[in-house]
């Protein structure tokens, strides 16, 4: 059965009313989760809270997926496509600095250092929004044509060293299978986007993040006699210089931005010794798959050949943190009217890409996906503290639009043949 226009209109109105009626509940959940943040792969209490909620709604619930993930499956009364909605649930080792009544006072030891724990990226809001969406859709499953998979994902910020985690692990454990997901949607709250606004970009939206390590080998000698050795510090400097020419001279910057940053150089022990070796670590950010391939290839060639030209040797290794958060073009066009319907057309803004990374990108490599940004800045403010900082703040009057956006695009997507 396909809904006629007026019937679809009625369904939408009902869902939006139901969303509005649970707004205070969603805000309450968000504050409880905010007060009790847990680090990546340690989201035990958060997961228990989510699982209890989904079970109370009568959903089929899977726990301990990808360590601490929770999956809820809601089958509509009518058969149809399978849509996945994803929320990340982890917090960060940041000590919260504000006067909110629900401020976190949680502390823990992270990599040997005592630290506060804080939802300093806003994943508490994502969790509460998706719990709200589940509640509304479960209450209206007689109107639902198809299946909704709710993915509450741990460790988006990256698992602790030596552990697997995040979207990669969930995919490995089959989260997009059985039932097979046709499309996936995700959102990120943003501290610098006004409440009521949705921002999006087709194509490359957030960057592929690589970490790289360069090892340069020379030959140790006295600082007064460089001709007797091979100076790895000088070679490292030439390599850093070479990398920047890949961005400025070889990358088609009219297509997308790209960044290479060396963040750390280690070499030597004292002023009058030219050391044996040098090490550099850094990051590459790309928004286009072809540019990424070019940059990785040219960095590898430059590392090896520049070192060789100066009498040393060098190697580079890349470690992939995220892929390109790439909004499928057809899907973006398809969901845009849904977002405009809930936010108002002038509140849905096309934005530039960012060079931050997001592990939602791994799902988008498997199935078509769409990722958008939701306003969390108090109306009237013009400035906000960035994500991952102690003063980071989200105005939870912005959450209702997140619930409505997910509801609208879910129903519209499932009702589109």
Contact residues for Zn ion (CB under 5 A)? 121
Taking the complex as a whole, the smallest distance from the CB of residue 182 to Zn ion amounts, in Å, to 25
Looking at the Cβ atoms of 91 and 143, the one nearer to Zn ion is 91
Determine phi and psi for 328, rounding to 5 degrees.
-50, 130
CA distance 219 to 342: 65
- B/e letters for 220-258, b = 16+ CB within 10 Å, e = fewer, are ebeeeeeeebbbbbbbbbbbbebbeebbeeebeeeebbb
Catalytic member of 38, 90, 288, 395: 90
Looking at the Cβ atoms of 70 and 121, the one nearer to Zn ion is 121
Residue 394 CA neighbour count, 13 Å, CB half: 29
Residue 289 CA neighbour count, 13 Å, CB half: 6
Asked about 383 being catalytic, the answer comes back as no
Looking at the Cβ atoms of 268 and 356, the one nearer to Zn ion is 356
354, 398, 377, 387 alpha-carbon torsion, rounded to 10°: -50
Taking the complex as a whole, the smallest distance from the CB of residue 360 to Zn ion amounts, in Å, to 9
> Residue with CB nearest Zn ion?
121
In 3D, which of 370, 405, 335, 278 has the Cα closest to residue 84? 370
Taking the complex as a whole, the smallest distance from the CB of residue 72 to Zn ion amounts, in Å, to 21
Asked about 60 being catalytic, the answer comes back as no
Looking at the Cβ atoms of 87 and 409, the one nearer to Zn ion is 87
Taking the complex as a whole, the smallest distance from the CB of residue 346 to Zn ion amounts, in Å, to 26
Residue 310 near residue 246 (C-beta atoms within 8 A): no
DSSP H helix total and E strand total for the chain: 10, 18
Bridging pattern class, strands 113-116 and 107-110: antiparallel
Structure tokens belonging to residue 1: 């059965």
Taking the complex as a whole, the smallest distance from the CB of residue 1 to Zn ion amounts, in Å, to 39
Catalytic member of 156, 231, 359, 396: 156
Looking at the Cβ atoms of 89 and 121, the one nearer to Zn ion is 121
Looking at the Cβ atoms of 68 and 140, the one nearer to Zn ion is 68
In sequence order, which ranges of 22-121 are alpha helices (DSSP H)?
Answer: 23-35, 44-56
In 3D, which of 5, 50, 49, 19 has the Cα closest to residue 139? 19
Taking the complex as a whole, the smallest distance from the CB of residue 120 to Zn ion amounts, in Å, to 7
Determine phi and psi for 15, rounding to 5 degrees.
-60, -40
Looking at the Cβ atoms of 278 and 399, the one nearer to Zn ion is 399
Structure tokens belonging to residue 411: 């129903």
Taking the complex as a whole, the smallest distance from the CB of residue 5 to Zn ion amounts, in Å, to 37
Calculate the CA 35 to chain-centre distance. 22
Residue 38 near residue 117 (C-beta atoms within 8 A): yes
Determine phi and psi for 415, rounding to 5 degrees.
-85, -5
Q: Which residues are catalytic?
A: 90, 156
């Amino acid at each position: 059965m396909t809904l006629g226009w007026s019937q679809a209109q009625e369904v939408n109105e009902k869902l939006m009313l139901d969303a509005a009626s649970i707004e205070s509940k969603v805000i309450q959940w968000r504050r409880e989760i905010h007060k009790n943040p847990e680090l990546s792969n340690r989201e035990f209490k958060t997961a228990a809270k989510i699982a209890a909620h989904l079970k109370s709604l009568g959903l089929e619930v899977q726990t301990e997926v990808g360590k601490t993930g929770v999956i809820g499956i809601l089958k509509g009364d009518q058969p149809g496509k399978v849509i996945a909605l994803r929320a990340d649930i982890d917090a960060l080792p940041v000590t919260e600095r504000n006067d909110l009544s629900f401020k976190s006072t949680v502390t823990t030891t992270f990599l040997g250092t005592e630290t506060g724990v804080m939802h300093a990226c806003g994943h508490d809001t994502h969790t509460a929004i998706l719990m709200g969406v589940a509640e509304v859709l479960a209450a209206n499953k007689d109107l639902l044509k198809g299946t909704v998979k709710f993915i509450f994902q741990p460790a988006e910020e990256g698992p602790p060293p030596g552990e697997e985690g995040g979207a990669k692990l969930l995919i490995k454990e089959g989260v997009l299978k059985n039932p097979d997901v046709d499309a996936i949607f995700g959102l990120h709250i943003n501290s610098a986007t006004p409440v009521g606004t949705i921002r999006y970009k087709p194509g490359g939206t957030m960057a592929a993040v690589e970490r790289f390590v360069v090892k340069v080998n020379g030959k140790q000698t006295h600082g007064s006699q460089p001709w007797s050795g091979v100076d790895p510090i000088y070679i490292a400097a030439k390599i850093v210089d070479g990398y920047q020419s890949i961005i400025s001279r070889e990358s088609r910057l009219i297509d997308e931005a790209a960044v290479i940053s060396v963040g750390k150089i280690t070499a030597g022990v004292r002023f009058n010794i030219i050391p044996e070796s040098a090490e550099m670590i850094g990051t590459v950010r790309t928004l286009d798959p072809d540019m990424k391939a070019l940059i990785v290839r040219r960095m590898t060639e430059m590392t090896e050949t520049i070192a060789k030209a100066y009498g040393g040797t060098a190697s580079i290794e890349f470690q992939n943190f995220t892929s390109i958060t790439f909004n499928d073009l057809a899907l973006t066009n398809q969901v845009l009217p849904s977002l405009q319907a809930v936010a108002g057309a002038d509140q849905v803004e096309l934005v530039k890409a960012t060079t931050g990374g997001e592990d939602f990108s791994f799902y988008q490599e498997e199935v078509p996906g769409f990722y958008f940004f939701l306003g969390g800045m108090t109306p009237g403010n013009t400035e906000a503290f960035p994500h991952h900082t102690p003063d980071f703040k989200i105005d939870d009057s912005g959450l209702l639009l997140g619930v409505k956006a997910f509801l609208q695009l879910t129903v519209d997507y499932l009702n589109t043949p």
